[in-house]
Amino acid sequence: MDREISGLSSMATRLVLAEVTAHLRLAHGPAVRFESAGGVEVARRVREGAESDVLVLADGALAALAGEGYVLGDTVRPLWVSEVVAAVPEGTPVPPLRSESDVRAALLSARRIAYSTGPSGTALVDLIARLDLAEVLGDRLVQAPPGVPAGSLLSSSRADLAFQQHSELMDLPGVVVAGPLPGDTAITSTFSGGVLAVSSRPARAREVLDLLGSDEASKAARAGGMRAVGGP
């Protein structure tokens, strides 16, 4: 695999892919470069004909692109699962998250609640509706721009509570992760990979995809706040 394979991914998997591809380069030699952006932006670029080989996105978004013929359907495979966590600005009280009541209390006490444009944001809005808090919290919800971590709104004082994938919040300066959501309020997202139909090297792209789903890659993914599909 002497020529570079290029990939596109959402921001949620950016750090994980950096860990995984660095490990794969040392262990197996493939030169792989991923470019990350907001999931909505990546899907738009794929539909507009972006030239790349491998795609890693939330499973729903990737399945839609496969259904439209932009991804080779027989290459689609689930890779990693990410928990959505809550976070607060550093130096402020960290709310407990042991029960649904704790989640309700944290939401109701927040002045501004940041969430993403990705699947975690959609799931959070659905959760708020299920908790019958949509009307109460409607004016307090602040959606981060595509590709911008919701946690960045904490460090800039534009929000005092944020929800997003653990991988996107775990290492942000000025941000403290309160923890995953408990019980029936838990939100997880599955990220899948596939070979793009426009790939000029589909066989090599399949090899890279196999390596992304390997046990070795799963160990690197755990360091980035995700776990392998079907793993502990």
pLDDT-above-90 percentage for the chain:
63
Q: Cα dist. 96→88, 132, 137, 188, 225 in Å?
A: 11, 20, 19, 19, 20
Average pLDDT of the segment spanning 124-143: 96
CA distance 135 to 113: 14
pTM score, whole prediction = 0.82
State residue 15's pLDDT score. Answer: 80
Instruction: Give all domains of the chain, ordered by start, each with its CATH number.
Output: 5-80+191-228 (3.40.190.10), 82-185 (3.40.190.10)
DSSP state of 33: E
Could you tell me if 48 and 179 are in contact, meaning their C-beta atoms sit under 8 angstroms apart? no
State residue 222's pLDDT score. Answer: 82
State residue 1's pLDDT score. Answer: 42
* Helical residues (DSSP H) of the chain, grouped into ranges: 14-28, 39-47, 59-67, 100-109, 119-130, 134-137, 152-155, 166-169, 202-212, 215-223
- Average pLDDT of the chain, as a whole number: 90
pLDDT digits 0-9 by tens, 46-83: 999 999 999 999 999 999 999 999 999 999 999 999 89
pLDDT-above-70 percentage for the chain:
96
Average pLDDT of the segment spanning 22-46: 83
Measured torsion, CA atoms of residues 8, 147, 226, 53, in degrees rounded to the nearest 10: 0
Give the tokens for residue 191.
């990220």
Q: What band does 106 get if pLDDT is binned at 50, 70 and 90?
A: very high
pLDDT digits 0-9 by tens, 178-214: 999 999 999 998 999 999 999 999 999 998 899 888 8
State residue 147's pLDDT score. Answer: 76
pLDDT at 103 over 90: yes
pLDDT at 30 over 70: no
CA distance 139 to 113: 9
State residue 2's pLDDT score. Answer: 54
Average pLDDT of the segment spanning 16-34: 77
Average pLDDT of the segment spanning 135-145: 94
pLDDT at 27 over 90: no
Could you tell me if 121 and 115 are in contact, meaning their C-beta atoms sit under 8 angstroms apart? yes
What contacts 201, CB < 8 A, 6 or more positions away?
A: 3, 5, 53
